[in-house]
Amino acid sequence: MNILLLGANGQLGRSFLEHGGLAERGILSAATRDGSRFDGKPAEVADLSQADALHDLLDRLQPRVIVNAAAYTAVDRAESEEALATRINGDAVGELGTWAAVHDALVIHYSTDYVFNGNADIPYPTDAPTAPIGAYGRSKLAGELALQRSGAKHLLLRTAWVYAPHGHNFLRTMLRLAAEREEIRIVADQHGSPTDTTLIVRATLAALDKWLDADPMQRDQMNGTHHLVASGSTTWHGFADAIMREATAHGLLARMPRLIPITTAEFPTPARRPAWSVLDNTGFQRQFGYSLPDWRQGLNHIIKALVPKTC
């Protein structure tokens, strides 16, 4: 079975490669935007802004499973580059779907809590009405709709507040700021579920295994949108506090900085963010028989992974 991983240099893509589970399940081709890979190993070129080249790559590799971890994720920049964000997060996803529908391939694709407006106060079910409040969310919603319309078999996995030991993320920003400052001001009125990439990789592989074992009727039930986030929720301030406590306990930080809770209004950004990003993940757990633990468990795991190994 040929498997194609797109976006292999991103937080999630890199975690897939480091985990190794895709390569255990088939002949894996990893693709990046420019053909260079974080570990210096060779990679295919897949720039999602180039429709023809993407189509040629799919024709050449003939994947049975396409894992799309590539995305335009610059939430603030998307406000001034919406056409490019929509090309990568919307049109390209539709093209993957169209190819997959014709060739009977499965598309595993990731979407976001930003497809919702954040006005809720209970976890969003998968079928809650979407209403993005920014360009990034609109571009990701365009991808969801294009994939659904393509007729391809798909697992559309919405996740949120993603972090890893590598890449650009809140946890790494907090650790850097903590080493530089005595006091950090953090937004305390946005709610979500911090989700580490190890959890996303393991849960995706569990879902893929179920898919591969399933008969056509079971596949029809699995086909569609699922919420793949850690359980429980917090605010950015709560997440920062937990990061500092874990990092101090494991010797990554010498001292805790003071964390000052602030409102979203006190931290203006080009893109508006949803105030409520908590997704109901019970359907994923039931459908795939895979338990999604509390977000603090993932944090503990990632902090331990960041502690330098002593011989």
Active site residues per annotation: 136
Task: Compute and round to an integer the Cα radius of gyration of the chain.
Answer: 19
Q: Does 88 bind ligand NDP (CB under 6 A)?
A: yes
Instruction: Tell me how far, at minimum, the Cβ of 215 lies from ligand NDP, in Å.
Output: 29
Q: Judged by CB under 6 A, which of 72, 124, 239, 288 binds ligand NDP? A: 72
Q: Judged by CB under 6 A, which of 4, 46, 115, 242 binds ligand NDP? A: 46
Alpha carbon distance 9, 169 (integer Å)? 14
Alpha carbon distance 32, 35 (integer Å)? 5
> Which window, 65-73, 94-102, 171-179, 238-246, contacts ligand NDP (CB under 6 A)?
65-73
Q: Detail the DSSP E strand segments found in the chain.
A: 2-6, 27-32, 44-45, 65-68, 106-112, 153-159, 162-163, 183-187, 191-192, 195-196, 224-227, 234-235, 258-262
Contacts to ligand NDP from residues 7-26, by CB under 6 A = 7, 9-13
Q: Hey, what amino acid is at 139?
A: S
Instruction: Tell me how far, at minimum, the Cβ of 195 lies from ligand NDP, in Å.
Output: 8
Given a contact cutoff of 8 angstroms between Cβ atoms, the answer to whether 303 and 198 are in contact is no
- Count of other CB atoms within 10 angstroms of residue 235: 17
H-type alpha helices, 250-294? 282-288
Specify the 3-state DSSP secondary structure of 159: strand
Beta carbon nearer to ligand NDP, 18 or 214: 18
Task: Break the chain down into helix, strand, coil percent, rounded to 5.
Answer: 45, 20, 35
Write each residue from 131 to 170 as x if it is in contact with ligand NDP (CB under 6 A), else as -, in one continuous string: ---------x------------------xxxx----x---
Beta carbon nearer to ligand NDP, 217 or 283: 283
Q: Does 108 bind ligand NDP (CB under 6 A)?
A: no
Instruction: Tell me how far, at minimum, the Cβ of 190 lies from ligand NDP, in Å.
Output: 12
Alpha carbon distance 5, 201 (integer Å)? 12
> Which window, 19-27, 40-48, 205-213, 254-262, contacts ligand NDP (CB under 6 A)?
40-48
Nearest-CB residue for ligand NDP: 10
Answer positive or negative: Cα dihedral of 258, 184, 10, 282.
positive
Q: Which two tokens stand for residue 182?
A: 């005595």
Write each residue from 286 to 305 as x if it is in contact with ligand NDP (CB under 6 A), else as -, in one continuous string: --------------------
Beta carbon nearer to ligand NDP, 21 or 214: 21
Beta carbon nearer to ligand NDP, 112 or 231: 112
Given a contact cutoff of 8 angstroms between Cβ atoms, the answer to whether 13 and 6 are in contact is yes
Instruction: Tell me how far, at minimum, the Cβ of 305 lies from ligand NDP, in Å.
Output: 16
Q: Does 196 bind ligand NDP (CB under 6 A)?
A: no
Residue ranges binding ligand NDP (CB under 6 A):
7, 9-13, 33, 46-49, 69-73, 88, 110, 112, 140, 159-162, 167
